[in-house]
Copies of this chain bind each other. A is one copy, B any other.
Amino acid sequence: MKRKISLKDIAAKVGVSTALVSYVLNNKKSGRIRVEVAQKIKEAARELNYRPNQIAKSLKLNKTYTLGLIVADISNPFFSTLARIIEDEADKHNYTVIFGSADENAAKSFKLINTLMDRQVDGLIIAPAENAESNIKYLQDHEMPFVLIDRNFPAISTNWVCLNNFKASFSALQHLLDRGSKKPGLLTYKTSLYNISERKRGYEIALLENNVMFQPTWLKEVSFSEDMRTAVENALDEMLGGNSPVDSILFSSNILATYGLKYIHSRDIRIPDDLALITFDEMDASDLFYAPLTYIKQPIQDMGEIATQILLENIDAIKKTQQVKLEGDLIIRKSTEMVE
Protein backbone atom coordinates (compact mmCIF):
# COMPACT_ATOMS: atom_id res chain seq x y z
CA MET A 1 0.00 0.00 0.00
CA LYS A 2 0.93 3.53 -0.67
CA ARG A 3 2.42 5.62 2.08
CA LYS A 4 -0.25 7.77 3.54
CA ILE A 5 -0.15 11.48 4.15
CA SER A 6 0.39 12.25 7.81
CA LEU A 7 0.33 15.34 9.97
CA LYS A 8 4.07 15.47 9.55
CA ASP A 9 3.76 15.94 5.80
CA ILE A 10 1.45 18.87 6.24
CA ALA A 11 3.65 20.36 8.94
CA ALA A 12 6.70 20.06 6.67
CA LYS A 13 4.92 21.58 3.73
CA VAL A 14 3.67 24.58 5.68
CA GLY A 15 6.73 24.85 7.89
CA VAL A 16 5.07 24.52 11.28
CA SER A 17 4.93 21.88 13.98
CA THR A 18 2.63 18.90 13.82
CA ALA A 19 1.05 20.18 16.98
CA LEU A 20 -0.17 23.28 15.27
CA VAL A 21 -1.53 21.27 12.39
CA SER A 22 -3.39 19.05 14.78
CA TYR A 23 -4.88 22.04 16.57
CA VAL A 24 -6.03 23.67 13.38
CA LEU A 25 -7.49 20.56 11.81
CA ASN A 26 -9.36 19.74 14.99
CA ASN A 27 -10.52 23.31 15.54
CA LYS A 28 -8.87 23.43 18.93
CA LYS A 29 -7.55 26.75 20.18
CA SER A 30 -9.47 28.50 17.46
CA GLY A 31 -9.01 32.23 17.57
CA ARG A 32 -5.70 31.79 19.31
CA ILE A 33 -3.96 30.84 16.08
CA ARG A 34 -3.03 33.33 13.40
CA VAL A 35 -5.60 33.19 10.64
CA GLU A 36 -3.12 33.09 7.77
CA VAL A 37 -1.31 30.13 9.30
CA ALA A 38 -4.54 28.27 9.90
CA GLN A 39 -5.57 28.97 6.35
CA LYS A 40 -2.33 27.65 4.92
CA ILE A 41 -2.59 24.51 7.01
CA LYS A 42 -6.11 23.81 5.89
CA GLU A 43 -5.15 24.34 2.29
CA ALA A 44 -2.19 22.03 2.52
CA ALA A 45 -4.37 19.37 4.11
CA ARG A 46 -6.83 19.64 1.27
CA GLU A 47 -4.16 19.62 -1.39
CA LEU A 48 -2.41 16.61 0.03
CA ASN A 49 -5.75 14.94 0.54
CA TYR A 50 -5.00 14.34 4.16
CA ARG A 51 -7.07 11.79 6.02
CA PRO A 52 -6.29 11.23 9.70
CA ASN A 53 -5.15 7.78 10.69
CA GLN A 54 -7.92 6.65 13.00
CA ILE A 55 -5.76 3.94 14.49
CA ALA A 56 -3.23 6.47 15.74
CA LYS A 57 -6.04 8.64 16.99
CA SER A 58 -7.63 5.68 18.74
CA LEU A 59 -4.42 4.76 20.47
CA LYS A 60 -3.85 8.25 21.71
CA LEU A 61 -7.42 8.97 22.72
CA ASN A 62 -8.20 5.50 23.93
CA LYS A 63 -11.36 5.52 21.90
CA THR A 64 -12.04 3.74 18.61
CA TYR A 65 -15.54 4.82 17.67
CA THR A 66 -16.18 1.18 16.98
CA LEU A 67 -19.01 -0.94 18.30
CA GLY A 68 -18.94 -4.71 18.46
CA LEU A 69 -22.05 -6.65 17.55
CA ILE A 70 -22.30 -10.30 18.55
CA VAL A 71 -25.31 -12.26 17.39
CA ALA A 72 -26.06 -15.93 16.98
CA ASP A 73 -25.80 -15.79 13.21
CA ILE A 74 -25.60 -12.71 11.02
CA SER A 75 -27.26 -14.61 8.18
CA ASN A 76 -30.43 -15.09 10.23
CA PRO A 77 -32.85 -12.45 8.88
CA PHE A 78 -33.80 -11.36 12.37
CA PHE A 79 -30.20 -10.55 13.21
CA SER A 80 -29.23 -9.10 9.85
CA THR A 81 -32.18 -6.74 10.04
CA LEU A 82 -31.07 -5.79 13.53
CA ALA A 83 -27.53 -5.34 12.24
CA ARG A 84 -28.69 -2.89 9.61
CA ILE A 85 -30.64 -0.85 12.14
CA ILE A 86 -27.68 -0.78 14.51
CA GLU A 87 -25.35 0.15 11.68
CA ASP A 88 -27.51 3.13 10.75
CA GLU A 89 -27.95 4.29 14.32
CA ALA A 90 -24.23 3.92 15.03
CA ASP A 91 -23.35 5.78 11.86
CA LYS A 92 -25.40 8.77 13.01
CA HIS A 93 -22.91 9.09 15.83
CA ASN A 94 -19.88 8.34 13.66
CA TYR A 95 -19.45 4.87 15.00
CA THR A 96 -18.61 1.87 12.89
CA VAL A 97 -19.55 -1.71 13.69
CA ILE A 98 -17.63 -4.96 13.75
CA PHE A 99 -19.74 -8.07 13.88
CA GLY A 100 -19.35 -11.68 14.84
CA SER A 101 -21.58 -14.76 14.86
CA ALA A 102 -21.45 -16.94 17.95
CA ASP A 103 -23.77 -19.75 16.83
CA GLU A 104 -25.54 -19.94 20.20
CA ASN A 105 -22.27 -21.12 21.66
CA ALA A 106 -20.99 -19.51 24.86
CA ALA A 107 -17.37 -20.46 24.22
CA LYS A 108 -17.44 -18.97 20.76
CA SER A 109 -19.15 -15.91 22.16
CA PHE A 110 -16.39 -15.53 24.73
CA LYS A 111 -13.75 -15.77 22.06
CA LEU A 112 -15.52 -13.09 20.06
CA ILE A 113 -15.84 -10.85 23.08
CA ASN A 114 -12.12 -11.06 23.61
CA THR A 115 -11.30 -10.51 19.97
CA LEU A 116 -13.45 -7.41 19.90
CA MET A 117 -12.15 -6.13 23.22
CA ASP A 118 -8.57 -6.65 22.03
CA ARG A 119 -9.52 -4.38 19.18
CA GLN A 120 -10.60 -1.87 21.75
CA VAL A 121 -14.21 -1.52 20.69
CA ASP A 122 -15.88 1.17 22.76
CA GLY A 123 -18.83 -1.05 23.55
CA LEU A 124 -20.70 -4.21 22.69
CA ILE A 125 -24.21 -5.15 21.68
CA ILE A 126 -24.73 -8.82 22.36
CA ALA A 127 -27.44 -11.36 21.78
CA PRO A 128 -25.96 -13.66 24.41
CA ALA A 129 -25.74 -17.42 24.10
CA GLU A 130 -27.11 -19.88 26.56
CA ASN A 131 -24.94 -20.27 29.67
CA ALA A 132 -23.02 -17.14 28.86
CA GLU A 133 -23.41 -15.69 32.35
CA SER A 134 -19.66 -15.89 32.87
CA ASN A 135 -19.17 -13.81 29.73
CA ILE A 136 -21.35 -11.13 31.24
CA LYS A 137 -19.43 -11.28 34.48
CA TYR A 138 -16.22 -10.90 32.47
CA LEU A 139 -17.52 -7.78 30.76
CA GLN A 140 -18.61 -6.30 34.04
CA ASP A 141 -15.28 -7.05 35.67
CA HIS A 142 -13.58 -5.25 32.84
CA GLU A 143 -16.05 -2.38 32.99
CA MET A 144 -16.75 -2.77 29.31
CA PRO A 145 -19.94 -0.98 28.28
CA PHE A 146 -22.44 -3.37 26.75
CA VAL A 147 -26.11 -4.00 26.25
CA LEU A 148 -27.85 -7.28 25.74
CA ILE A 149 -30.36 -7.56 22.98
CA ASP A 150 -33.11 -10.07 22.27
CA ARG A 151 -32.16 -12.09 25.35
CA ASN A 152 -31.16 -11.26 28.89
CA PHE A 153 -30.33 -13.03 32.13
CA PRO A 154 -32.95 -12.15 34.74
CA ALA A 155 -30.57 -12.88 37.60
CA ILE A 156 -27.94 -10.45 36.36
CA SER A 157 -28.43 -6.71 36.40
CA THR A 158 -27.31 -5.40 33.03
CA ASN A 159 -28.52 -3.12 30.29
CA TRP A 160 -30.84 -4.96 27.98
CA VAL A 161 -33.60 -4.43 25.50
CA CYS A 162 -35.82 -7.37 24.80
CA LEU A 163 -39.26 -8.32 23.69
CA ASN A 164 -41.90 -8.98 26.31
CA ASN A 165 -41.70 -12.60 25.32
CA PHE A 166 -44.11 -13.86 27.94
CA LYS A 167 -46.85 -11.53 26.88
CA ALA A 168 -46.26 -12.03 23.18
CA SER A 169 -46.50 -15.76 23.59
CA PHE A 170 -49.46 -15.53 25.94
CA SER A 171 -51.41 -13.35 23.50
CA ALA A 172 -50.66 -15.68 20.65
CA LEU A 173 -52.03 -18.60 22.63
CA GLN A 174 -55.02 -16.65 23.80
CA HIS A 175 -55.74 -15.85 20.17
CA LEU A 176 -55.51 -19.51 19.18
CA LEU A 177 -57.82 -20.54 22.00
CA ASP A 178 -60.27 -17.75 21.22
CA ARG A 179 -60.38 -18.94 17.66
CA GLY A 180 -61.40 -22.37 18.84
CA SER A 181 -58.17 -24.29 19.11
CA LYS A 182 -58.63 -27.11 21.62
CA LYS A 183 -55.18 -28.62 21.43
CA PRO A 184 -52.59 -25.95 20.85
CA GLY A 185 -48.97 -26.95 20.45
CA LEU A 186 -45.69 -25.15 20.92
CA LEU A 187 -42.56 -25.92 18.94
CA THR A 188 -39.59 -24.32 20.62
CA TYR A 189 -35.94 -24.75 21.55
CA LYS A 190 -34.56 -26.85 24.34
CA THR A 191 -32.62 -24.12 26.04
CA SER A 192 -32.36 -22.07 29.17
CA LEU A 193 -32.27 -18.88 27.12
CA TYR A 194 -34.58 -16.54 28.99
CA ASN A 195 -36.44 -15.17 25.97
CA ILE A 196 -37.24 -18.71 24.90
CA SER A 197 -38.25 -19.93 28.34
CA GLU A 198 -40.57 -16.94 28.63
CA ARG A 199 -42.21 -17.97 25.40
CA LYS A 200 -42.78 -21.35 26.92
CA ARG A 201 -44.13 -19.85 30.12
CA GLY A 202 -46.55 -17.72 28.10
CA TYR A 203 -47.81 -20.87 26.48
CA GLU A 204 -48.21 -22.73 29.75
CA ILE A 205 -49.89 -19.94 31.65
CA ALA A 206 -52.30 -19.30 28.79
CA LEU A 207 -53.38 -22.94 28.85
CA LEU A 208 -53.74 -22.83 32.61
CA GLU A 209 -55.81 -19.67 32.68
CA ASN A 210 -58.06 -21.06 29.99
CA ASN A 211 -58.48 -24.37 31.78
CA VAL A 212 -57.00 -26.39 28.95
CA MET A 213 -55.56 -29.72 30.11
CA PHE A 214 -52.02 -29.76 28.77
CA GLN A 215 -50.76 -32.89 27.01
CA PRO A 216 -47.00 -33.52 26.97
CA THR A 217 -46.98 -34.31 23.24
CA TRP A 218 -48.15 -30.79 22.49
CA LEU A 219 -44.90 -29.20 23.51
CA LYS A 220 -41.73 -30.12 21.64
CA GLU A 221 -38.27 -28.70 22.16
CA VAL A 222 -35.41 -29.13 19.72
CA SER A 223 -31.89 -28.34 20.76
CA PHE A 224 -29.41 -26.16 18.90
CA SER A 225 -26.97 -29.01 18.56
CA GLU A 226 -29.16 -31.41 16.60
CA ASP A 227 -29.72 -31.25 12.91
CA MET A 228 -32.47 -28.65 13.03
CA ARG A 229 -34.44 -29.79 10.02
CA THR A 230 -34.67 -33.41 11.10
CA ALA A 231 -35.39 -32.46 14.68
CA VAL A 232 -38.24 -30.20 13.62
CA GLU A 233 -39.70 -32.87 11.36
CA ASN A 234 -39.60 -35.47 14.09
CA ALA A 235 -41.12 -33.08 16.57
CA LEU A 236 -43.95 -32.24 14.18
CA ASP A 237 -44.59 -35.91 13.51
CA GLU A 238 -45.08 -36.47 17.19
CA MET A 239 -47.19 -33.38 17.72
CA LEU A 240 -49.45 -34.24 14.81
CA GLY A 241 -49.57 -37.97 15.46
CA GLY A 242 -50.59 -40.03 18.46
CA ASN A 243 -53.99 -39.96 20.10
CA SER A 244 -54.10 -36.29 20.96
CA PRO A 245 -52.77 -34.46 17.92
CA VAL A 246 -52.52 -30.69 18.12
CA ASP A 247 -54.90 -28.53 16.10
CA SER A 248 -52.68 -25.45 16.18
CA ILE A 249 -49.00 -24.65 16.60
CA LEU A 250 -47.02 -21.67 17.80
CA PHE A 251 -43.50 -21.63 16.35
CA SER A 252 -41.06 -20.07 18.74
CA SER A 253 -38.73 -18.58 16.09
CA ASN A 254 -38.42 -17.79 12.41
CA ILE A 255 -35.91 -20.61 11.96
CA LEU A 256 -38.18 -23.22 13.50
CA ALA A 257 -41.08 -21.85 11.47
CA THR A 258 -39.16 -22.03 8.22
CA TYR A 259 -38.27 -25.68 8.67
CA GLY A 260 -41.68 -26.44 10.09
CA LEU A 261 -43.59 -24.81 7.27
CA LYS A 262 -41.59 -26.59 4.62
CA TYR A 263 -42.38 -29.89 6.24
CA ILE A 264 -46.04 -29.11 6.78
CA HIS A 265 -46.24 -28.02 3.17
CA SER A 266 -44.65 -31.24 1.98
CA ARG A 267 -47.03 -33.30 4.08
CA ASP A 268 -50.06 -31.59 2.57
CA ILE A 269 -51.52 -30.53 5.84
CA ARG A 270 -54.08 -27.83 5.15
CA ILE A 271 -53.69 -24.51 6.92
CA PRO A 272 -55.75 -23.37 8.77
CA ASP A 273 -58.39 -26.12 8.38
CA ASP A 274 -56.28 -29.02 9.62
CA LEU A 275 -53.90 -26.90 11.61
CA ALA A 276 -53.74 -23.26 12.67
CA LEU A 277 -50.35 -21.58 12.79
CA ILE A 278 -48.65 -18.65 14.46
CA THR A 279 -44.98 -17.80 14.18
CA PHE A 280 -42.64 -15.54 16.04
CA ASP A 281 -41.01 -12.96 13.75
CA GLU A 282 -42.00 -11.54 10.43
CA MET A 283 -40.85 -13.58 7.46
CA ASP A 284 -41.01 -12.96 3.73
CA ALA A 285 -42.57 -16.36 3.60
CA SER A 286 -45.47 -15.25 5.79
CA ASP A 287 -47.04 -13.47 2.86
CA LEU A 288 -46.29 -16.08 0.30
CA PHE A 289 -47.62 -19.11 2.04
CA TYR A 290 -51.01 -19.94 0.56
CA ALA A 291 -52.49 -19.16 3.95
CA PRO A 292 -50.72 -15.94 4.97
CA LEU A 293 -49.37 -16.42 8.43
CA THR A 294 -50.45 -14.88 11.67
CA TYR A 295 -47.26 -13.79 13.40
CA ILE A 296 -45.81 -11.95 16.33
CA LYS A 297 -44.14 -8.88 14.98
CA GLN A 298 -41.15 -7.82 17.00
CA PRO A 299 -40.44 -4.09 17.34
CA ILE A 300 -37.08 -4.70 15.77
CA GLN A 301 -36.47 -1.11 14.69
CA ASP A 302 -36.97 0.14 18.24
CA MET A 303 -34.95 -2.73 19.60
CA GLY A 304 -31.92 -1.89 17.49
CA GLU A 305 -32.13 1.85 17.94
CA ILE A 306 -32.71 1.78 21.67
CA ALA A 307 -29.97 -0.73 22.27
CA THR A 308 -27.53 1.41 20.33
CA GLN A 309 -28.58 4.54 22.14
CA ILE A 310 -28.25 2.94 25.55
CA LEU A 311 -24.83 1.67 24.61
CA LEU A 312 -23.66 5.08 23.41
CA GLU A 313 -24.96 6.68 26.59
CA ASN A 314 -23.00 4.18 28.63
CA ILE A 315 -19.88 4.78 26.60
CA ASP A 316 -20.26 8.47 27.26
CA ALA A 317 -20.24 7.59 30.92
CA ILE A 318 -23.87 7.89 31.89
CA LYS A 319 -23.77 4.83 34.02
CA LYS A 320 -27.30 4.00 35.09
CA THR A 321 -28.31 0.59 33.83
CA GLN A 322 -31.34 0.52 31.61
CA GLN A 323 -33.69 -2.35 30.95
CA VAL A 324 -36.26 -2.03 28.24
CA LYS A 325 -39.02 -4.50 27.59
CA LEU A 326 -40.77 -3.90 24.29
CA GLU A 327 -44.18 -5.17 23.33
CA GLY A 328 -44.77 -7.36 20.31
CA ASP A 329 -47.67 -7.03 17.95
CA LEU A 330 -49.88 -9.92 16.93
CA ILE A 331 -50.57 -9.60 13.22
CA ILE A 332 -53.62 -11.70 12.47
CA ARG A 333 -53.96 -13.30 9.06
CA LYS A 334 -55.34 -16.33 7.33
CA SER A 335 -53.41 -19.06 9.13
CA THR A 336 -55.54 -18.68 12.23
CA GLU A 337 -58.89 -18.33 10.52
CA MET A 338 -60.19 -21.66 11.67
CA VAL A 339 -63.53 -23.02 10.59
CA GLU A 340 -65.21 -24.46 13.64
Per-residue contact bits, chain A 251-295, to B (CB 8 Å; 1 contact, 0 not): 000000010011001000000000000000001110111100000
Known A-B contacts A54-B119, A285-B284, A285-B288; the reply to A98 vs B101 at CB < 8 A is no
> Are A84 and B77 in contact, with the CB atoms below 8 A?
no
B51 touches A117 (CB 8 A): yes
Copies, count:
2
Report which of B83, B142, B262 forms a contact with A1, defined as CB distance below 8 A: B142
Q: A6-57: which have CB < 8 Å to B?
A: 51-56
- Find the B residue at minimum CB distance from A75: B84
- Would you call A184 an interface residue if the criterion is a C-beta within 8 Å of the partner chain's C-beta atoms? no
Smallest distance from the beta carbon of A206 to chain B beta carbons, Å? 27
Residue-wise, chain A 53-80 has the 8 Å CB interface mask toward B (1 for contact) of 1111011000010100000011111011
Partner of A118, one of B53, B59, B262: B53
Binary flags per residue of A133-163, CB closer than 8 Å to B gives 1, else 0? 0000000011111000000000000000000
A-B contact sample (18 more), CB < 8 A, given A1-B142, A2-B143, A77-B80: A51-B118, A55-B59, A55-B64, A55-B120, A56-B59, A74-B80, A74-B83, A74-B87, A80-B80, A80-B83, A84-B101, A87-B99, A96-B119, A261-B287, A261-B288, A283-B284, A285-B288, A289-B289
Report, nearest first, the 10 A-B pairs whose CB atoms are least far apart. A80-B80, A75-B84, A290-B290, A2-B143, A285-B288, A285-B285, A75-B81, A54-B118, A262-B287, A75-B80
- State the A residues within 8 Å of B (CB): 1-2, 51-56, 58-59, 64, 66, 73-77, 79-81, 83-84, 87-88, 96-101, 114-120, 141-145, 258, 261-262, 265, 283-285, 287-290
